[in-house]
Structure formats: structure tokens, C-alpha cells
């Protein structure tokens, strides 16, 4: 789960990490009163969307009077901000954050994240803050500082100190960095985060260290023990189809392709996506309907995929273990009748009651294309959506 910058900063403040004073505003009048509460003479108005790259896209503006703050908030609220992370459709700005401007001497990058290889937390830092870290890693890998911490151990002061020296911090700044990095690590561990990224972490003219931007991502599987974090969820920032899927306990992630996939089991879902690409197609989503899905959930998953206007055809690939193929077939037929099957549908069923399942599909009278193997299924859906005969190796693997 993601949260907004202003919420992440409130959490950082709670753990003792220095952040600029500021508050959120939903309209220009609120922006004005927030600005009046803060000491001027310079303020920053920041669009609150779940995407980075706002600075370059006009979503971060420095203002030199309260009047300018109000006018900027007025202009930003309601606009569609397009950054390199939002996609071309952009994101509607519904809130702005007004904060005190910092006097920036240096912009650094510091993040802590779960390292899936080591199973521990890794700290990534760089002297090149304020920029896209992926870009820095690609063009100047030598500018990336890494600290791998062993699993289940808090950060130690000596580890943070090493990073501070590698960042070239001055003597009086080193202990401030150590305190800050350890506080972020405490927040990370206590809140079950998977990433806390501070970009930029600035050194001010008088040698203070301040987190000017923060992105926090939490482990969805640990949210049950953080009701206060759950309350920070902003449904406006979540893809509506993903939101609907979550309501029905379906593991759904929207992707950019045009072949909808409905699969049971995450492993099979990944394999299905791979093989679609192998035959030159592009999956429109990841969908795991899970092992014990009912007829109703199958129908719901099917409708969800169908409701995505980018989907040109659907591939259903289900292995009936605990789940019976006849229930799956009933779910598909029911949903297909309801939505009106206007796009190609390829179904591959295997496992318990497979004969019964195939019979239900055949007798439905619907134009369902059946397939026997995974390769057969992928070839058929790619051919049906592209109008071409396909062979292996036409796509990216």
C-alpha cells in the first residue's frame, strides 16, 4: 500500500526525523490559512498524488507570498498532473501540501527497502539526490552507496556512520545523519514498510538535515496489525479495477497489454503471462483467482477483466485441484452470458472434473475456443486477438 507524501512526513516526524513544517489543503482558502500558520517568507506548494517526478512536471512550486500560495493552490487543485510515473493519462490533484521552503545546500538520496535476495533491509544512498535514482544507477553506478543489513536486526550506528562518510558529510552533519537513518530504520521496522525513500534528503545552509520528500510503501500482508496505516489509504489513488478485485479477495494487477488472463495460483499466472509474451502477445493483467475460488468469484473475476476496455481477448487457464473444473466452467459461462461475449475467449481447463467442465463449455452455445495445453492456449489467444498465425519466439521471453 502507498500513502501520500504529507502522510509519510507525519509518520517520519513521529519517529523523530526532521521534516519541514507544513499541512495539507483541499481548497485555496485552506491553503491560505496553512500558509499563514507557517513562517514565511518562502513557501512550497506540492501536489499530493501517488507518483513521483512532480517537480519536473509542475507539481512543486516555490511561492514568495501568501497570495501566490493561494493562487498556486487554486491552479494545482483539480489539474491532471502528468509525470513520468503517472502514465500519459496523468493523475487528478485533489490535495496540495503547503510547507516551509528549505534553504538547500546539498540534495542527497536515501532509501531503505526490503532486499528480496538477502531477506534483510538494504539502505541505498547517493550524493545525487533529487534525481531519478534508476537514472543515477544506470549512468553513474559508482555514485550508489549500499548497506545490506542482516535480516531481523536493527541498523547499528557504525553502519549508518559509514554511509555518512561515503556521502561526504561534514563532521557536525555525521551524527545527525546517523540519528536520522536509525530513526527511519525504526519506522521501517515498526510500521512493516517495504520501502521508505527520502529523495531528496537535504543539507541546509546551516548544516541541518531535512527530509524534503518521502515515499512510503507498506507490506499489504502486515496491514492487519496497523489499523492506523490502513486509515491512510486513499482509494482515489488506486486503480478502480484493482480496488474492486481487492474487495473480492482476488489478486489482480493491471498491466499494459491487451490479453486478459484469469488463472488460479500465482505461479501458473506468471507462467501464463510468460507464455503469452513468448508467442508475441502482451498480458493486460495478472489475475490469481486462488485455489478455492467459488463459481461466484470466477464470474466476478471474469467480469472484472472484461470491464477493462484495453482487453481485446481473454485467456482462462485453470488447473482444477481443490477447485472443480465444472464449477469454473459454470462461472465462466454465467459471466460470459451476462456481459455478452464480444471478444475472443480461450479456455484451458485441466484437473478435477475436467470432462464435465469441457462439456459445460461446449453445450453453452457460446463461441468459446477451447485449448488443451498451455502453448496451445497461448497461441490461440494471440492469434485470435492479433488475427495472425503465431509461432514460438515471436515475443519477448
As a whole number of angstroms, the distance between CA 353 and CA 89 comes to 44
> In the range 148-207, which residues lie near ligand ADP by CB under 6 A?
199-200
Residue 65 assigned ligand-binding role: no
As measured in angstroms, the least distance from the Cβ of 199 to Mg ion is 4
Give yes or no: 109 in active site. Answer: yes
Q: Is 107 annotated as a binding residue?
A: yes
Active-site residue among 97, 109, 252, 279? Answer: 109
Dihedral in degrees, nearest 10, Cα atoms 27, 31, 37, 38: 150
For residue 318, report the phi and psi dihedrals to the nearest 5 degrees: -125, 135
Which of Mg ion, ligand ADP, none sits in contact with 336, Cβ below 5 to 8 A by type?
none
The residue with its CB nearest to Mg ion is 213
Please work out the total of residues on this chain that contact ligand ADP, with binding judged by CB under 6 A.
18
From 50-58, 165-173, 231-239, 243-251, give the range in contact with ligand ADP by CB under 6 A: 50-58
Any catalytic annotation for residue 279?
no
- Interface mask toward ligand ADP for 124-143; x: CB under 6 A: ------x-------------
Residue from 18, 28, 53, 334 in contact with ligand ADP (CB under 6 A): 53
* Contact pattern for Mg ion over residues 205 through 244, marking x by CB under 5 A: --------x-------------------------------
53 labelled as ligand-binding? yes
Least gap, CB of 96 to Mg ion (angstroms) = 16
Rank residues 87 and 151 by Cβ distance to ligand ADP and give the closer one.
Answer: 87
Burial class (CB in 10 A: 0-12, 13-18, 19+), 119: exposed
Q: Which is nearer to ligand ADP, 106 or 380 (CB)?
A: 106
**Looking at 12, 25, 52, 124, which residue binds ligand ADP (CB under 6 A)?**
52
d(C-alpha 289, C-alpha 302), whole Å: 10
176, 161 Cβ separation under 8 angstroms: no
* Distance in angstroms (rounded) separating the CA atoms of residues 155 and 150: 9
Interface of this chain with ligand ADP, residues 98 to 127, rule: CB under 6 A: 99, 101-102, 104, 107
Work out the number of other CB atoms within 10 angstroms of the CB of residue 106: 18
Tell me whether residue 54 is annotated as binding.
yes
Catalytic residue among 32, 128, 173, 197: 197
Q: How far is the CB of 97 from ligand ADP (least distance, A)?
A: 9
Residue 330 within binding range of ligand ADP, rule CB under 6 A: no
Helix axes 66-76, 28-37, angle to 10 degrees: 140
Q: Which of 17, 60, 250, 335 binds ligand ADP (CB under 6 A)?
A: 60
Tell me the HSE value of 108 on the side-chain side, using a 13 A CA sphere: 25
CA atoms of 74 and 78, how far apart (whole Å): 8
The least distance separating ligand ADP from the CB of residue 101, rounded to whole angstroms, comes to 4
Considering only 7, 86, 102, 199, the residue that binds Mg ion (CB under 5 A) is: 199
Smaller CB separation from ligand ADP, 30 or 128: 128
Of Mg ion, ligand ADP, none, which one does residue 20 interact with (CB within 5 to 8 Å by kind)? ligand ADP
Binding site for ligand ADP (CB under 6 A): 20, 44, 46, 52-55, 60, 99, 101-102, 104, 107, 130, 199-200, 212-213
Catalytic residues: 109, 197
Annotated binding-site positions for Mg(2+): 199, 213
Annotated binding-site positions for ATP: 46, 53-55, 99, 102, 107
Annotated binding-site positions: 46, 53-55, 99, 102, 107, 199, 213, 264
Amino acid at each position: 500500500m502507498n500513502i501520500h507524501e504529507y502522510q509519510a512526513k507525519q509518520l517520519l516526524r513521529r519517529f523523530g526525523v526532521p521534516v519541514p513544517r507544513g499541512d495539507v489543503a483541499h481548497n485555496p482558502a485552506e491553503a491560505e490559512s496553512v500558509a499563514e500558520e507557517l513562517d514565511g517568507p518562502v513557501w512550497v506548494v506540492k501536489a499530493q498524488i501517488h507518483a513521483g517526478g512532480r517537480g519536473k512536471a509542475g507539481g512543486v512550486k516555490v511561492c514568495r507570498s501568501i497570495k501566490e500560495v493561494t493562487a498556486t493552490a487554486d491552479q494545482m487543485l483539480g489539474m491532471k498532473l502528468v509525470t513520468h510515473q503517472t502514465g500519459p493519462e496523468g493523475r487528478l490533484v485533489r490535495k496540495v501540501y503547503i510547507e516551509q521552503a528549505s534553504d538547500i545546500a546539498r540534495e542527497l538520496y536515501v532509501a531503505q527497502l526490503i532486499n528480496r535476495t538477502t531477506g534483510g533491509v538494504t539502505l541505498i544512498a547517493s550524493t545525487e539526490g533529487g534525481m531519478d535514482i534508476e537514472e543515477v544507477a544506470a549512468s553513474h553506478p559508482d555514485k550508489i552507496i549500499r548497506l545490506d543489513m542482516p535480516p531481523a536486526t536493527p541498523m547499528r550506528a557504525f553502519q549508518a556512520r559509514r554511509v555518512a562518510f561515503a556521502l561526504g558529510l561534514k563532521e557536525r552533519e555525521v551524527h545527525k545523519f546517523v540519528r536520522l537513518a536509525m530513526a527511519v530504520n525504526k519506522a521501517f521496522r515498526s510500521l512493516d514498510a517495504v520501502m521508505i525513500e527520502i529523495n531528496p534528503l537535504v543539507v541546509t545552509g546551516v548544516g541541518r538535515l531535512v527530509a524534503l520528500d518521502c515515499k512510503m510503501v507498506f507490506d499489504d500482508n502486515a496491514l492487519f496489525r496497523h489499523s492506523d496505516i490502513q486509515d491512510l489509504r486513499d482509494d482515489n489513488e488506486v486503480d478502480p479495477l484493482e480496488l474492486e478485485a481487492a474487495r473480492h479477495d482476488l489478486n489482480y494487477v493491471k498491466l499494459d497489454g491487451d490479453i486478459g488472463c484469469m488463472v488460479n495460483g500465482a505461479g501458473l499466472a506468471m507462467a501464463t503471462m510468460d507464455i503469452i509474451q513468448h508467442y508475441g502477445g502482451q498480458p493486460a493483467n495478472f489475475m490469481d483467482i486462488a485455489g478455492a475460488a467459488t463459481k461466484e468469484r470466477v464470474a466476478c473475476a471474469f467480469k472484472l477483466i472484461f470491464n477493462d476496455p484495453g482487453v481485446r481477448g481473454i485467456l482462462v487457464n485453470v488447473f482444477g485441484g481443490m477447485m472443480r473444473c465444472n464449477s469454473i466452467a459454470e462461472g465462466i459461462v454465467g459471466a460470459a452470458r451476462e456481459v455478452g461475449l464480444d471478444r475472443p475467449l480461450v479456455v484451458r481447463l485441466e484437473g478435477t472434473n475436467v470432462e464435465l467442465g469441457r462439456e459445460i463449455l461446449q453445450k453453452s452455445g457460446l463461441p468459446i475456443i477451447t485449448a488443451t495445453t498451455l502453448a496451445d492456449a497461448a497461441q490461440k489467444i494471440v492469434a485470435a486477438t492479433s488475427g495472425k498465425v503465431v509461432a514460438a519466439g515471436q515475443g519477448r521471453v
